Structure 1
Amino acid sequence: MDEPAPSQPTPAPAAEGRFPSAYTILFALIVLMAALTWLIPAGEYDRAVNAALGREVPVPGSYRPVEAAPQSPLQVLMAPIAGFYDPSSYEANAIDVSLFVLIVGGFLGVVTATGAIDTGIARAMRRLKGREKWIIPIMMALFAAGGTTYGMAEETLAFYVLLIPVLIAAGYDALTGVAVIMLGAGVGVIGSTINPFSTAIASDAAGIAFTEGMGLRFAILGLSWITAVAYVMRYAERVRRDPGRSLVADMKEANEAHFLQGAGHASDRPLTALQLLILVVFAATFGVMVWGVAAQGWWMAEMSALFLGASILIGILAWLGEKRFTSAFVDGARDLLGVALVIGLARGIVIVMDQGRITDTILFTFEGWIAGMSDVAFVNALFAVEALMSFLVPSTSGLAVLSMPILAPLSDFAGVGRDLAVTAFQTAIGITNLVAPTYAVVVGGLAIGRVPYNRWLRFVWPLLVLLSLISMALLSAAVLL
């Protein structure tokens, strides 16, 4: 059996040179934030330990000006480096996520070297002939379940190279694959029900039980999922009927060469017993990852160890030998090196803001804007404020700890329940984190899926408007009822 060559990055078309790469966009944002530290007055809230959260949170009414800390060119250059190991992060540090991405790349390189993926995709497409479209709602439902229950985010990065080849082979495009994963998990986060990184932390910071407002969140989850599925399926069917209408049509051949590799040559090959066993181990690895995160509290270190162990097991089962195994693993990791670097750059933006002491000033400004509004105006203004803040602080739990202790008490004066303030927060950050270039999951997922950022914006902005209108309408209705 001919073995497929290790995956090699396929260059994007030269036409993409007209729009800056993710690296340029993120570094430009770091420079912009550094410039703002020279213009925006520095300030800080006092912090106090929240016993329920076990973390320091801002104290309402304690904002005060402090000595300015404008960021120098050297600090701009240091920001992406510090972004990899920011000790103040409330979630996984960028170095943890980046290492996880590299190990997943190595794992995929080893599996690809066995030929099992190519043959498995070809066989799956033969079996799904005429029913390919149902992959979209089924997978979006599974990702949404992960998003609403445990905030599935960084761990979705492992699924792009698994799902995109299947959808391309089914006649869709790489953007469809990115949309199924990113929007599936994203609408789950928008309609978070028991998500500990969104609903639970925000509710604790607001001083309420996370079960308050659950009915409204289920309604938002259901309507958002239906809207997103219909939107993706409509686009996917349009692409299947006319590939020229794909937003990445000019990248079609390059993406097929990159993702499918030897699948065309494998179309007539039988799936051997060994390859079937490898695919079972392959699928089981993802299943164990989801179980570990949801039930055992695993995070990046444990997930990385899981994929490393699975790589070794598959290498032994396929009897690749030490040299072929290490070459396949390193080649696979090399393919995702750019993704790992993008994640560190994204975190560098928050580093510059915090070191320049302007994050609390921005929050204080928003606090002044929305204070004293009527109930309906307040809940919608709070939604808008949290959406803007999440561009600057993309960490869900980080923004919850930062903003909720300040903004939730304001809802009392507006006659709005604090549970609505929490729901406004989680829906807003969920929507923003579908496009925020500061969010590692967005820039990382687009980099793996080989979808340029500007193409993603063109695709997703009408859906973001729809999801925002759904959330704001339901929030307003909840205030009035």
Structure 2
Amino acid sequence: MKKFKIPHTYVLLFCVIIIMTALTYIIPAGQFDRAEDPATGRIFVVPESFHYVEQSPVSIFGLFQSIPKGMNEAGYIIFFVLMIGGAFGIIQATGTIDAGIGSTVKQMSGREKLIIPVVMLVFSLAGATLGTAEEALPFYPIVIALAIALGFDSITGTALVLLGAGAGFAGAFANPFTVGIAQGIAGLPLFSGFVFRMLAYVLILGSAIIYVYRYAAKIQANPELSLTYEEDKKRQKNIDISQLTEMTKRHKMVMLVLVLGLVILGLGVAKLGFYITELTALFIIMGIAAGIVGGLKADRIAEEFIKGAQELVYGALIIGLATSIMVVMNEGAILDTVIYSMARIVQGLPGVLSGIGMFFVQSIINVIVPSGSGQAAVSMPIMAPMADVVGITRQTAVLAFQFGDGFSNVISPTSGYFMAALAIGGIKWEKWVKFMLPLFLIWTVIGMSLVALSVMINYGPF
């Protein structure tokens, strides 16, 4: 019997685009009315405004048009990923990353696994308070290279950042972009229910740290068990500590450029509203500056930039393909219909099941609308009043949204920053799913339990 092989990620995403195109002929077209909040300028869905509209199925030619349209819509993220690759290609060429890793490996010799809880805690706090997602992308090359040098693999390195920030995002106790917006739409006091969310944060992050720690220990003991063993053989691996590169004056100057750049990045995100465009420009500057102080000539800087960007083309294009799914659903006017239909299913469930049902509905919606703030804007105007109808608190509805959004962010192929992280790590989506699925199920059980508990204790204030 021939062993089943998971299709290439491009094939999987293209099949989803075909399915969604076919559904535009089957699912009735519908829309919610949208209005602008005069105080904030935010566009929100008007509750009870859903209505059916004229069917607008996507043609076969429209199916193929959705691909360049998706690439265009996701262009800012695609180019961000390519620019990060280019910038780190230059920095890598100076030898600074290898020297920095060598220094760390020497210092951590014999206690390598301590880095796992420390790094994941740091990124989780960023996710829980700043909503860090795309902003963490610049850190992946460094952490992945460090993880491999310490005897782990690229999945471990990716998980340290992705699951650290992801756990914080899912268990967020003060994320203004998800919890803040959702509570605002629901009419709840900002960041109310803090203690319960802290419990969620501890459980979600704790389970992630234990899971990654056990996986990393297994790989360190037997590298051939790694899901990315063949890929990682091409990277820096099995380093002889006695032969590690020493930090030179030039390396330290490049390291200073890198540290200053990351400090500016943190301040820009927290204080100046930096987002993808500003961060892209910042990394171009960092790459060029690092090349100059690292002693590279102009032509070498350009060549290394191109090499670095080329390594991330595979994953960058996946981001555009994933966005094409949304393009088809929007042009076929079935997105709002799908959300409305799922919301009505939840409305018919009793008590605890209503809360758990909301959690699963939000998980499905997040595959369709992967933006946390966008999902809050689309779903919370429906879910908040629905919570009133079925007899559960609006705070529970926000919690269900938070988990549904957060958990699937680190496994859904439509999540742009997630696919960008895999691209930077050189990890195929199907291999990540094989690694992540047990933890995803653990998180799902934790989420269901906490949502059920919130219903039982009448989690409020209302």
Q: Does the CA contact (< 8 Å) of 1:255 and 1:450 recur in 2? A: no
- Does 2:29 match 1:42? yes
Aligned partners of 1:429, 1:172: CA distance in 2, in Å?
Answer: 29
Question: 2:180: which partner in 1?
Answer: 200
1:360 is aligned, of 306, 315, 336, to: 336
Aligned partners of 1:20, 1:372: CA distance in 2, in Å?
Answer: 37
Question: 1:480: which partner in 2?
Answer: 456
**Closer, same or farther in 2 for the Cα pair 1:112/1:262, shift >3 Å?**
farther
**Closer, same or farther in 2 for the Cα pair 1:435/1:379, shift >3 Å?**
same
Offset at residue 285 of structure 1 (A): 2.0
Aligned partners of 2:86, 2:239: CA distance in 1, in Å?
Answer: 19
**Closer, same or farther in 2 for the Cα pair 1:339/1:177, shift >3 Å?**
same
1:348 maps to amino acid: S
Q: Does the CA contact (< 8 Å) of 2:83 and 2:283 recur in 1? A: yes
Question: How big is each residue's C-alpha offset from its partner over 1:16-45, in whole Å with a ceiling of 9 and x where there is no partner?
Answer: 994322222222211111111111111112
Question: 1:336: which partner in 2?
Answer: 312
Q: Where has structure 1 moved over 6 Å in runs of 4 or more?
A: 261-266
**Closer, same or farther in 2 for the Cα pair 1:78/1:266, shift >3 Å?**
farther
- Does 2:131 match 1:151? yes
Question: 2:96: which partner in 1?
Answer: 116
Offset at residue 372 of structure 1 (A): 4.0
1:255 maps to amino acid: D
Aligned partners of 2:446, 2:244: CA distance in 1, in Å?
Answer: 47
**Closer, same or farther in 2 for the Cα pair 1:321/1:55, shift >3 Å?**
same
Offset at residue 442 of structure 1 (A): 2.1
Q: Does the CA contact (< 8 Å) of 2:81 and 2:312 recur in 1? A: yes
Aligned partners of 1:53, 1:420: CA distance in 2, in Å?
Answer: 25
1:468 maps to amino acid: T
1:149 maps to amino acid: T
Aligned residues: 455
Identity of aligned residues (%): 36
Question: 1:215: which partner in 2?
Answer: 195
Offset at residue 218 of structure 1 (A): 1.2
SS at 1:159's partner residue? Answer: helix
Q: Does the CA contact (< 8 Å) of 1:118 and 1:261 recur in 2? A: no
1:65 maps to amino acid: Y
1:146 maps to amino acid: A
Question: How big is each residue's C-alpha offset from its partner over 1:237-261, in whole Å with a ceiling of 9 and x where there is no partner?
Answer: 0111122322233x1xx32423x28
Question: How big is each residue's C-alpha offset from its partner over 1:326-346, in whole Å with a ceiling of 9 and x where there is no partner?
Answer: 111122122222222121111
Q: Does the CA contact (< 8 Å) of 2:250 and 2:295 recur in 1? A: no
Question: 1:396: which partner in 2?
Answer: 372
Question: 2:45: which partner in 1?
Answer: 58
Question: 2:211: which partner in 1?
Answer: 231
Q: Does the CA contact (< 8 Å) of 1:339 and 1:447 recur in 2? A: yes
Question: How big is each residue's C-alpha offset from its partner over 1:203-242, in whole Å with a ceiling of 9 and x where there is no partner?
Answer: 2222222222222211111111111100110111011112
Offset at residue 52 of structure 1 (A): 5.2
Q: Does the CA contact (< 8 Å) of 2:102 and 2:241 recur in 1? A: no
Q: Does the CA contact (< 8 Å) of 1:118 and 1:263 recur in 2? A: no
Question: 1:95: which partner in 2?
Answer: 75
2:420 is aligned, of 444, 451, 460, to: 444
Offset at residue 262 of structure 1 (A): 12
1:396-415 equivalent positions in 2, closer than 5 A: 396-415=372-391
Aligned partners of 1:312, 1:451: CA distance in 2, in Å?
Answer: 27
Aligned partners of 1:415, 1:330: CA distance in 2, in Å?
Answer: 57
Aligned partners of 1:66, 1:472: CA distance in 2, in Å?
Answer: 36
SS at 2:243's partner residue? Answer: coil
**Closer, same or farther in 2 for the Cα pair 1:283/1:325, shift >3 Å?**
same
Aligned partners of 1:52, 1:377: CA distance in 2, in Å?
Answer: 36
- Does 2:232 match 1:255? yes
Question: 1:22: which partner in 2?
Answer: 9
Q: Does the CA contact (< 8 Å) of 2:82 and 2:312 recur in 1? A: yes
Runs of at least 5 residues in structure 1 that lack an aligned partner in the other structure:
1-15, 87-93
- Does 2:438 match 1:462? yes
2:279 maps to amino acid: M
Offset at residue 290 of structure 1 (A): 2.4
1:189 maps to amino acid: F
2:320 maps to amino acid: G
Aligned partners of 2:131, 2:12: CA distance in 1, in Å?
Answer: 26
2:215 maps to amino acid: Y
| Range with greater deviation from structure 2 (76-85 or 420-429) | 76-85
2:36 maps to amino acid: V
TM-score (norm. length: structure 2): 0.94
- Does 2:144 match 1:164? yes
1:274 maps to amino acid: R
SS at 2:344's partner residue? Answer: helix
Offset at residue 383 of structure 1 (A): 0.5
**Closer, same or farther in 2 for the Cα pair 1:110/1:261, shift >3 Å?**
farther
Question: How big is each residue's C-alpha offset from its partner over 1:291-324, in whole Å with a ceiling of 9 and x where there is no partner?
Answer: 2112221001111111111122112212311111
Aligned partners of 1:457, 1:68: CA distance in 2, in Å?
Answer: 36
Question: 1:126: which partner in 2?
Answer: 106
Runs of at least 5 residues in structure 2 that lack an aligned partner in the other structure:
458-462
Question: How big is each residue's C-alpha offset from its partner over 1:88-145, in whole Å with a ceiling of 9 and x where there is no partner?
Answer: xxxxxx2111121111111111111111112221222112101110111111111111
SS at 1:70's partner residue? Answer: coil
Question: How big is each residue's C-alpha offset from its partner over 1:261-307, in whole Å with a ceiling of 9 and x where there is no partner?
Answer: 89769934322111122123223322321221122210011111111
Question: How big is each residue's C-alpha offset from its partner over 1:341-385, in whole Å with a ceiling of 9 and x where there is no partner?
Answer: 121111111111111111111111112211143221211110011
Question: 1:317: which partner in 2?
Answer: 293
Aligned partners of 2:399, 2:371: CA distance in 1, in Å?
Answer: 16
CA RMSD of aligned residues (A): 2.0
1:274 is aligned, of 242, 250, 256, to: 250
- Does 2:376 match 1:376? no
Q: Does the CA contact (< 8 Å) of 1:191 and 1:221 recur in 2? A: yes
1:347 is aligned, of 323, 331, 355, to: 323
Question: How big is each residue's C-alpha offset from its partner over 1:133-177, in whole Å with a ceiling of 9 and x where there is no partner?
Answer: 011111111111111112111122222211111111111111111
Offset at residue 201 of structure 1 (A): 1.5
Q: Does the CA contact (< 8 Å) of 2:30 and 2:333 recur in 1? A: yes
